[in-house]
Amino acid sequence: MALKPLIAGNWKMNGVGASLDEARAIAEGAAALTSVDLLLCPPATLIGRMAARCAGTPLAIGGQDCHTEIAGAFTGDVSAAMLADAGASHVIVGHSERRTLHGETSALVRQKAEAALAQGLVAIICIGETLAEREAGRTLAVVIDQLQASLPAGADGHTVVIAYEPVWAIGTGKTPTSADVAEVHAGLRAELVRLLGADKGAPVRLLYGGSVKPSNAAELMALPDVNGALVGGASLKSADFLAIAAAV
Ligand code: 13P
């Protein structure tokens, strides 16, 4: 099934008010890139301003994490309802930096994804193996286990996106071989179809993430069952992010 690719940028804990100029440049460039969907996920502090600055353009705005609850005594947290209220249409959940640095389990990620869906947000669920797991030959087992345990009730092609991000490829300049990416994506597609049925599992977009840049985007995005990218560092510069989107 040919799915419209999604090129998503994760700004992580980068970006201040001045960075909105980069977002605006991406939003303007998005108008010419009609064969892909474009999304930027800035820090929570910028979501409202970015949504206002990019209103009327095809650029969608997302959060990078959300709490499982709508509101309450959870100092420092942001809810899916708040993200939606600020203008977000998507939210990343279960990024490896959250899983590793904040001890998030797949069970928690699933709850977060369910909170996102309840607010009408698309949940971008991240999964990926560590270097030790890859070297032990456990990549497929690890990512399929994460997928099974993280997938929310109500998952389909409209409500969730899966991002495969090998932990060892994030921010390192290293990427798996094309054959390795294709093998993992084929395994994830088969598991999605097994779990959700072909009608719901086949249209779920599968993104690759980890050191995607203009020079490797075309090769990665041409692989079967790679339906877009989740881009970290290269999404901070409009020229690089637009070049990745144009390479699809
Ligand atoms: P880099 O593109 O900087 O490797 O980051 C990938 C990532 O973690 C996106 O979520």
Q: Which residues are catalytic?
A: 95, 165
Which candidate, 168, 177, 182, places its Cα nearest to that of 226?
182
Atom of ligand 1 nearest to the CA of 97: 8
Query: pLDDT for 45-102, tens place per residue?
Result: 999 999 999 999 999 999 999 999 999 999 999 999 999 999 999 999 999 999 999 9
The pTM is what? 0.98
Q: Does 173 sit in the ligand 1 pocket, CB within 6 Å?
A: no
Handedness of CA 62, 157, 27, 212 (dihedral sign): positive
Ligand 1 centroid to residue 56 C-alpha, Å = 27
Q: How many residues does the chain have?
A: 248
Query: pLDDT for 114-168, tens place per residue?
Result: 999 999 999 999 999 999 999 999 999 999 999 999 999 999 999 999 999 999 9
d(CA 207, CA 195): 18
Ligand 1 centroid to residue 230 C-alpha, Å = 7
Q: What six digits make up the tokens of 50?
A: 């970015």
Q: Are the C-beta atoms of residues 144 and 164 closer than 8 Å to each other? A: no
**Is 30 in a helix, a strand, or coil?**
helix
Q: Does 230 sit in the ligand 1 pocket, CB within 6 Å?
A: yes
DSSP designation for 93 = E
Q: Which helix (H) or strand (E) holds 85?
A: helix 80-86
Domain ranges of the chain: 6-238
Q: Does 95 sit in the ligand 1 pocket, CB within 6 Å?
A: yes
Ligand 1 centroid to residue 192 C-alpha, Å = 23
- The 3 state secondary structure assigned to 190-203 is HHHHHHHCHHHHCC
Atom of ligand 1 nearest to the CA of 96: 8
Could you please state the CATH topology (level 3) that the domain comprising 6-238 is classified under.
TIM Barrel (3.20.20)
**Is 164 in a helix, a strand, or coil?**
strand
